[in-house]
Amino acid sequence: MTALPPGTRARADGQLETLPRNAPAGVRRRALLTQARRRSLAGLLFVLPGVLPLIVFVVYPALNSLVMSLTNWDLTGHRDFVGVQNYLDLASNSQFLHALVTTAEFALGVAIPGAVLAFVLALLLDAGVRYTAWYQPLLFFPVVLPSVVSAILWAVMYQGGGVINNLLGTKVGWLTDPSWALFSLIVLLLWTNVGYYTVIMLAGVRDVPREYYEAARTDGAAWFGLIRHVTLPLVRPALLFIVVIATADSLTLFAQPYLMTRGGPGDATRMLSELIYDTAFNFQNIGKAAAMTFVLLVAALSVAFVQFRILRSSHD
Amino acid sequence: MTGRKAWLVLPMLLALATQACSSAPAGDATAGTGAGEQIQLSYWNHINKPSNDYETKLIADYEAANPNVKINYLTVNDADMQTKLTTAIAGGTGPDLVNQDQSFLPALVAQGAVVPADLSAMGLNDNAGFDQKYSATIAKGYSIGGTIYAIPFEVSSYAFWANGAIFKEAGLDPVADFPKTYDDLIRVGKKIQESGAAKEGIALTMYAAGRDLIQLDAMARQAGGSLVSDDGKTPQLSTAPVAKALQMWADLARVHKVNDPSLGPTASTNAEDLLGNGTAAMVNTGGSWLIGVLKAQYPDVYSNYVVGQWPTFAGGPAIGGDLYGYGLMVTKLSKNQAEAWKFAKYMTDHASDYFTNTGIWLGDTATLNSDATKSFPHWDVFSASFQRGSFLPPIVKTNEFSQVVSRAVQRAVLNGEPVEAVLADAQKEAQPLFQ
């Protein structure tokens, strides 16, 4: 689009008209804006209330973190530009690499069982088994429980003489045995979030037109066939949403591991979010922590991209 | 530049501009305060109900005597104090005066966050005056390179505690059978567990990096070494005494099974809670302040507790828990440094009353030898414990180092990994922290 010369305006026939010098200022100003520009400006003003907070609270802090990751800022004073040194250091930082792997294991342990559990529970709820009205709020209850409360509750249950060992007749150190600690945290996060995932999945399941089931039954499909060939393909958007959200929940989980294991035993449950917190605020190495944050961000975006590619519906 | 590019560049420029602006070093904010001028003083201390209650009263009295001074008192969870303090100072909003763990002093001094103590304002004149009021041992924990930066405002060390009722139930005499060596501890612990009087003989600290650090250091001193060289410049984790100490810790849990980490403590509870709720018969984390906690929270144990010195290695030196403490520090940001030191002196002048009301000793020799301590239950134990312990040398990266030690403890005690290998890894991790 070509800008109009100052002091002119476009006539209805498309010709340029030079405005007289004594034309009112408002008319001269309006003339500077073509109709298309005015429309763009109006659109911009409409989206500004939504975009501005995004810039201030998301884009700006993210870019600020990126700048920080290129420094050796110690929170209180020294801040020198070190280029990509923090990123290079991470490549040989065994604790960071271990935390990256642990975070990935945890995310995998939550996302896939979370989606499967949500699907099964949604099917049960959709089938209208007895007392569904009771089960639904019960399933959702852990979602509204503060994470600190659920962490303390489960820490007590996981103790050597706790209710879980008593029920199972075992003597497992759920939080103190390195082979069980991560699993114990996965169970806790599943318990906390599966109600939310189920609500999403239930909406997806109930969205499937009933006629499709009738048509499939007419063609001789059994229960498993209905689930496999009708329900599953049509709830893929909900499934994708749950997997992405569960992965994001796992990647950013902080309160429960921090309160229950502090990353231990050893490094068995040390995930990136806790390592970033420690590095930034306990060790006051903001530059390094910011670099870790960006690696986590890139990893999260990559995982989300792959999940979208795998799970998106064919007609998308 | 297209509009789309401008959207991306604008926040980037904003970020760079903010970085550039905030990089500017803060100037010396010290300012004098004239008589009658209204002064707002901010004072932070960690949460401890008895001392918080007593300090609230002290503050009210101080404000009444100095009507132009208003003290904003903030209590902060001890575990979060250093993080909050450094973050606040970085943001230019830190307190004028803070009572902080002295082990963080090297880090705070290195960051330029606190100023040297105004000894004349504290009525101490010089370092010799400080040594006279406190002691040369205590001075080591509150000075860096010969300069005193903090005034002691709690000095303590861990003693060894037992639940006498559990001992009796197991057929033991709480006094005669009180463990003097680790061999005694193993024997007594096993007997208690076999009798069913308690689930575990002793609850040991775990998942608490600061506590893990001073416990392992004390045990290493008992074994003839220490975690760090005396000048605080070299980690000594991969040494025979530290290995002996960590091996004993691991063996108590894994070989002799008188400690069961699966019973706790977790990352959000303390070993003392296990003594209090009857899970464990003994605990080795708790200073004189534990008496008040038992009295308030666990009255049954309070009426049956026995306290004494830490057990030692058979034939080893009589060394107890490490000394640890808190100190009043004035931040560099403070615009009212003179008033902050004046208020600090006012509080330390009440050391004897402070002790009577809270059970917390402020480190001064006068209170140590006063009637107030003589009438305090078992003060002879705590007093002897102070003589037997010592502060860790100043370490700038205390937080990182304590995490390294804590992870080593977890790997040896919880994971059952070989002690030598664990300590070799820990030494490798710790080395760069001291450079």
The string of pLDDT tens digits covering residues A64-108 is: 999 999 999 887 777 889 999 999 999 999 899 999 999 999 999
pLDDT at res. B1 = 42
pLDDT at res. A75 = 79
pLDDT at res. A39 = 85
> What's CA A315's distance to the chain center, in Å?
24
Residue B279: list chain A partners with CB under 8 A: 161
- Interface of A to B at Cβ within 8 Å reads 55, 59-60, 63-64, 66-68, 71, 74-77, 79, 151-152, 155, 159-161, 171-178, 258-262, 264-268, 278, 281-284
Lowest mean pLDDT among B164-168, B196-200, B357-361: B357-361
Q: Measure the CA angle with vertex A219, ends A215 and A225; round to 5°.
A: 90
- What is the pLDDT averaged over residues A187-207? 94
pLDDT at res. A216 = 92
pLDDT tens track for A153-168: 999 899 888 899 999 9
What mean pLDDT is reported for chain B?
89
The DSSP secondary-structure symbol of A130 reads: T
Residue of B nearest to A172 (CA): B262
pLDDT at res. B27 = 33
B-interface mutation test, from A75, A92, A170, A279, most B Cβ less than 10 A away: A75
The alpha carbon dihedral of A7, A10, A15, A17 has a sign of negative
**B151 to A72, A162, B138, B139, B353: CA distances (angstroms):** 32, 44, 10, 9, 17
- What is the pLDDT averaged over residues B349-377? 91
Does residue A291 surpass a pLDDT of 90?
Answer: yes
pLDDT tens track for A206-216: 999 999 999 99
pLDDT at res. A304 = 86
pTM assigned to the model: 0.80
Report the C-alpha gap between A255 and A182 in whole angstroms. Answer: 14
ipTM above 0.85, yes or no: no
pLDDT at res. A20 = 64
Give residue A231's identity as a one-letter amino acid code: T
Residue A66: list chain B partners with CB under 8 A: 15
pLDDT tens track for A238-283: 999 999 999 988 988 999 999 899 898 988 999 999 999 999 988 8
pLDDT at res. B142 = 94
pLDDT tens track for B392-433: 988 989 989 999 999 999 999 999 999 999 999 999 999 999
Smallest Cα distance from B71 to chain A, Å = 25
Of A77, A261, A281, the CB nearest to B207: A261
β-pairing verdict for B97-101 and B39-46: parallel
Report the C-alpha gap between A300 and B152 in whole angstroms. Answer: 48
Report the C-alpha gap between A178 and A180 in whole angstroms. Answer: 5
Q: Other C-beta atoms within 10 Å of A276: how many?
A: 21
Of B86, B89, B410, the CB nearest to A264: B410
The residues, ordered by sequence, that sit 6+ positions from B401 with a Cβ below 8 Å of its Cβ are B213, B228, B235, B395, B430, B433
- What is the pLDDT averaged over residues B104-111? 91
With cut-offs at 50, 70 and 90, classify the pLDDT of residue A190: very high
Enter the tokens of residue A193. Answer: 């979030």
